């Protein structure tokens, strides 16, 4: 009984942190994100995305850039850098390489699975009042499975969404764990 009350309090704490302002920022970031990515063998794309990352009791909003290359019509490689500006005294970055396995259902809708490896960093800047400031920067490794889909809106315009689970391991501090990322954007194919 006590455990269920504690879990309910944790959920209430998380929900209370997601204010209307933060939801508005998510909607704006997702609606203005742009990407360009590959859809057929040999295509190269460059892009940018808006995203939200959730882990523990924190939700962070960020953006990222990526470079994509279709090795075949079904295999795509991606390099990506994501950045989450300072919020709640810390900022976060992630540089990863991904492999996508594309499974086209028709010429307009292409779901895919993804897996990635990379490096991540955390910068903490905590104001301790009269005792000064605490600053620390750490780096770690990240493993990422996930899934996404491309939805073709026009011949060269695609709406893209990805969901990722990031398993993070920092050596120096005890904040390792997992985070859930949701990214979305418009994709221009060139």
Q: What is the per-residue DSSP string for 81-140?
A: EEEEEEETTEEEEEEEEEEEEE--SSSSEEEEEEEEEEEEEEEEEEE-GGG-EEEEEEEE
CA dihedral of 100, 167, 188, 68, whole degrees rounded to 10: -50
The answer to whether residue 12 scores a pLDDT higher than 70 is no
| Element (DSSP H or E) covering residue 27 | helix 20-32
DSSP state of 8: H
Cα-flanking dihedrals φ and ψ of residue 178, to 5°? -130, 150
The answer to whether residue 40 scores a pLDDT higher than 50 is yes
Lowest-pLDDT range of 40-44, 100-104, 160-164: 40-44
Q: pLDDT at position 111, please?
A: 95
Per-residue confidence at 37, pLDDT binned at 50, 70, 90? Answer: very low
Per-residue confidence at 139, pLDDT binned at 50, 70, 90? Answer: confident
Q: What is the largest CA-CA distance in the chain?
A: 62
The domains located in the chain, with CATH, are 2-188 (2.40.160.20)
Q: pLDDT at position 34, please?
A: 33
Per-residue confidence at 122, pLDDT binned at 50, 70, 90? Answer: confident
Taking only the tens place, the pLDDT of each residue in 160-180 is 899 999 888 877 666 556 788
Taking only the tens place, the pLDDT of each residue in 43-64 is 777 788 899 888 766 778 999 8
Retrieve residue 41's tokens: 């063998």
In the three-class reduction of DSSP (H, G, I as helix; E, B as strand; rest coil), residue 81 is classed as strand
Task: Encode burial over 51-76: b for 16+ CB neighbours within 10 A, e otherwise.
Answer: bbbebeeebbbbbbebbbbbeeeeeb
């Amino acid at each position: 009984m006590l455990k269920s009350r504690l879990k309910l309090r944790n959920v209430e704490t998380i929900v209370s942190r997601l204010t209307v302002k933060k939801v508005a920022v998510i909607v704006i970031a997702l609606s203005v994100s742009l990407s360009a990515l590959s859809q057929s063998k040999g295509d190269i794309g460059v892009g940018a995305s808006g995203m939200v990352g959730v882990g523990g009791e924190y939700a962070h909003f960020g953006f990222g850039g990526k470079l994509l290359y279709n090795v075949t019509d079904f295999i795509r490689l991606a390099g990506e850098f994501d950045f989450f500006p300072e919020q709640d005294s810390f900022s976060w970055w992630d540089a990863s390489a991904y492999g996508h396995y594309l499974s086209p259902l028709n010429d307009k809708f292409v779901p895919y699975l993804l897996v990635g490896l990379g490096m991540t960093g955390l910068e903490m800047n905590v104001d301790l009042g009269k005792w000064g400031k605490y600053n620390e920067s750490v780096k770690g490794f990240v493993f990422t499975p996930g899934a996404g889909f491309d939805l073709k809106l026009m011949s060269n315009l695609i709406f893209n969404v990805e969901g990722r689970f990031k398993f993070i391991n920092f050596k120096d501090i005890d904040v390792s764990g997992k985070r859930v990322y949701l990214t979305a954007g418009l994709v221009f194919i060139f």
